[in-house]
Amino acid sequence: MIKYLPLLTILIPLAGTIVVWAASKISDELADISACVVTAVTFAVTIAMYPTVASGQKISLSIATGFPVPFSLYVDGLGMLMALIASGLWFLSSLYAIKYMEHEHHRMRFDIFSLFSLAGMMGIVVTGNMFSFYIFFEMMAILSYLLVIHEETPEAMRAGLKYLFMGIIGGLTVLVAIVATYVITGSVDLTKGGLAGLQSSPLFAVIFWSYIFGFAVKAGMFPVHVWLPDAHPVAPSPASALLSGVMIKAGAYAIIRTVYAIFGRGLVDGPALNQTLLVLALITMMLGSAVAITQTEIKRLLAYSSIAQIGYVILGISMLSPKGLLGSLYHIFGHAMMKGSLFLAAGAIIHMTGLRQIEDLRGIGKRMPVTMVCFTLAAFSMIGFPPFIGFLSKWTLALGALDAADGGIFAMWVAITIISALLLSSLLNVVYYGPIVIRAWFGKPEGEGHGHSPSKPVKNDDPPWQMMLPIMLLATGTFVFGLFPSFARTLAEQVVRMYF
């Protein structure tokens, strides 16, 4: 029975689209609620897989398609971690969307394509070979387009076009790489630590970079990140949270599988592959932060911050050391909560007050205290204060760099450079998250002037509970899981054991 659960995590959201469609005939609100219920059920099914996977077993199921490659479902520690993050954040974001989307148009379309994207995302992380993976990878890339352009403003349409075209070009490049892998090795399984035979091909570096190109587009890695700062902010906030919190991680997840499961870390080790990747990751990290500083619009700032954070994740992957990979996985998990919380909080501000410019957020903490407490917590985690999870991942990444230097992956000066970059990037995080937090708590709203007039009791603008709860849970998660990484550690360590 348990082996059908991964299939269910895909089928439930797919079937859920019909439920949502039927519900929308009654009312849009009901459609939103049923979408939320569907994501909750998906999350529950995902949790049901956890005990099995946590005990070290792998769930796998293979369905013949008539094609030489079967349709394969496979959940190991990595897939489990990703599935939990995805379905969990999706559930919270759908709950949030019930109120947030209240006055929006095309709510049914949003719900349906959110569920389609969830099905795609779940499919990406629970499939066991690249043939099945690719179906869902493209499915998510295309169908999430409808989330990006939801507002249908010219700006959104332009961003959406970039998102879609880059996504498809990346996807098709990946297809070519997958087929090449299949021809050379006779297999596209993701269940091993490297496919035999790839090293004998003179083109393996080309194949590697074809994979990385396609996945880097999805992840938002330099230099193919250009769609991200446009697409993430224009989407409605619940979708932004998913795009930044989960969907770019699909790219990171795929890079992990490419490096460790398709090529194997032995083959990737070298200047043309992992060291170039490492340099790109460092550039991504610094560039994202540097540009974030110059942003004046809160959601755009968060989007650039996401680019920086994906840089951390890919950095950890390209270190090829156990701790590096562990740090990456922590960061995937942590960033999903932090950025989820931040985007939802930013959305709450926009929804309740209509303010988007950081400039205008002076004193917002007094109007929306709970929201801003959560925002502050998540921002602290982003900066990397202990005991937040952001600290844990950066710390682990730094240890990973030292490990890698010890293990001969690269020289000690590289490790030191990486650690300096991590520290510098944390400082940059302070530079762009700090002002928002400080302004929120210590500034005065524009209209009130500077005099010490007896202040009127400020109206509480915190959003309704459907929106508040997801923000609070995610923000709390950033330090609870920072102190007790528990399940994330169990799974992440399993992944590390599998690949090292």
Supply the minimum distance, in Å, between the C-beta of residue 172 and another protein. 5
Supply the minimum distance, in Å, between the C-beta of residue 183 and another protein. 4
Closest to another protein by CB, 179 or 469 = 179
Supply the minimum distance, in Å, between the C-beta of residue 79 and another protein. 19
Supply the minimum distance, in Å, between the C-beta of residue 173 and another protein. 7
Closest to another protein by CB, 109 or 192 = 109
Closest to another protein by CB, 154 or 457 = 154
Supply the minimum distance, in Å, between the C-beta of residue 184 and another protein. 8
Closest to another protein by CB, 74 or 330 = 74
Closest to another protein by CB, 210 or 274 = 210
Closest to another protein by CB, 141 or 421 = 141
Supply the minimum distance, in Å, between the C-beta of residue 181 and another protein. 10
Supply the minimum distance, in Å, between the C-beta of residue 374 and another protein. 35
Residues 88 and 41: their CA atoms lie apart, in Å, by: 10
Supply the minimum distance, in Å, between the C-beta of residue 179 and another protein. 4
The token duo for 52 is: 């099995």
Closest to another protein by CB, 167 or 363 = 167
Closest to another protein by CB, 2 or 175 = 175
Q: Based on the number of CB atoms within 10 Å of its own CB, is 453 exposed (0-12), middle (13-18) or buried (19 or more)? A: exposed
Backbone φ, ψ for residue 106 (5° rounding): 45, 50
Supply the minimum distance, in Å, between the C-beta of residue 8 and another protein. 17
Closest to another protein by CB, 109 or 356 = 109
* Residue count of the chain: 500
Tell me if the bond preceding 387 is cis, omega within 30° of 0.
Answer: yes
Supply the minimum distance, in Å, between the C-beta of residue 71 and another protein. 8
Residues 248 and 302: their CA atoms lie apart, in Å, by: 14
Closest to another protein by CB, 70 or 445 = 70
Using CB under 8 A, list all residues that contact another protein.
64-67, 71, 131, 134-135, 138-139, 142, 149, 152, 157, 161, 164-165, 168-169, 171-173, 175-176, 179-180, 182-184, 203
